[in-house]
């Protein structure tokens, strides 16, 4: 029997390499207004708007630039699937472990790098953008489960599945993973440059190969 029952992954910098914030990648690509972005960010951190509203605000900036799907794909052309990601997902799945994505990233990244991601992950928490036939953004579903909200998503899945938090694993790379890292029974800092997160983690993996996590989980 595996030691753990649920394994949750972050996306940017964890399942996908060459990126810390996918949102920033798109802002850079579409050259959105930094001041308006800063303003929305400050309003969020001052508690004036929700995370969802902040996300929708920023996606609207892309809309205003008439951002089309092929451009989104071009913007992430330099990103890569993390080394060992597919082997790791297959192995965990084979052992009957539940898998989840808990991320503030965007569906378009996962769709590009793991097109069959819905087959692997029992739960997927991330922001979603949908496109119409001419490639324009038709619909947006922003997640509420980024930052400290990631821990809420973990609790939600664990409760529904009747799994104790101590039997849950989380793997992430950045400071928005701090809270969920503390709550998961096993917190793994992976591809991480932030001391605060490394300190909160039970395991720190320096080698950039996701297969390295398996020895701690199985
Ligand atoms: Mg990340």
Closest to 21 in 3D by CA, of 34, 10, 9: 10
Of residues 94, 73, 95, 100, the one with CA closest to residue 14: 100
Mean pLDDT of the 135-157 span: 95
pLDDT at 213 over 80: yes
CA 51–ligand 1 middle distance (angstroms): 17
Task: Quote the distance between the C-alpha of residue 6 and its chain's center.
Answer: 16
How many Cβ atoms are within 10 Å of 34's Cβ, its own excluded? 9
Nearest 5 degrees, angle CA 117-CA 176-CA 61? Answer: 75
- The whole-number pLDDT of residue 189 equals 98
Question: What would the mean pLDDT of 118-147 be, rounded to a whole number?
Answer: 94
Which residues have C-beta within 8 Å of that of residue 34, sequence separation ≥ 6?
none
CATH class entry, domain 6-19+79-217: alpha beta
User: Which residue bears the tokens 């050259």?
Assistant: 31
* Average pLDDT rounded to a whole number, residues 154-166: 98
Beta bridge partners of 99: 7
Distance 17 CA to ligand 1 centre (A): 9
Mean of the per-residue pLDDT values of the chain: 96
Q: How far is the CA of 104 from the centre of ligand 1 (A)?
A: 8
* pLDDT at residue 2, as a whole number: 83
**Which residues are annotated as catalytic?**
10, 12
The three-class DSSP label of residue 107 is helix
For 90-128, what is each residue's pLDDT tens digit? 999 999 999 999 999 999 999 999 999 999 999 999 999
Residue 215 scores a pLDDT above 90? yes
- pLDDT band at residue 76, thresholds of 50, 70 and 90? very high
Domains of the chain, residue spans:
6-19+79-217, 23-75
Across-strand partners of 187?
A: 170
CA of 134 to the centre of ligand 1 (A): 31
pLDDT tens digits for range 52-74:
999 999 999 999 999 999 999 99
Environment of ion ligand 1 (residues, CB < 5 A): 10, 12-13, 173-174
pLDDT greater than 90 at residue 1 = no
């Amino acid at each position: 029997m595996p030691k753990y029952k649920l394994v949750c992954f972050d996306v940017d910098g964890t399942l996908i390499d060459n990126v810390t914030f996918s949102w920033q990648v798109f802002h850079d690509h579409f050259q959105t207004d930094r001041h308006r972005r800063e303003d929305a960010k400050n309003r969020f951190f001052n508690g004036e708007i929700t995370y969802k509203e902040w996300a929708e605000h920023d996606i609207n900036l892309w809309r205003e630039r008439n951002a089309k799907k092929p451009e989104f794909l071009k913007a992430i052309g330099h990103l890569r699937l993390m080394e060992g990601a597919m082997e790791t997902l297959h192995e965990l799945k084979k052992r009957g472990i539940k898998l989840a994505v808990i991320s503030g990233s965007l569906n378009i990244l996962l769709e590009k790098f793991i097109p069959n991601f819905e087959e692997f992950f029992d739960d997927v928490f991330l922001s979603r953008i949908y496109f119409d036939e001419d490639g324009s953004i038709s619909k947006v579903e922003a997640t509420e489960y980024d930052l400290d909200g990631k821990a809420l998503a973990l609790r939600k899945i664990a409760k529904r599945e009747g799994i104790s938090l101590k039997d849950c694993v989380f793997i992430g790379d950045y400071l928005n993973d701090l809270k969920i890292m503390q709550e998961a029974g096993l917190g793994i800092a992976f591809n991480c440059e932030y001391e605060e997160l490394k300190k909160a983690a039970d395991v720190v993996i320096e080698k950039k190969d996701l297969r390295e996590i398996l020895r701690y989980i199985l």
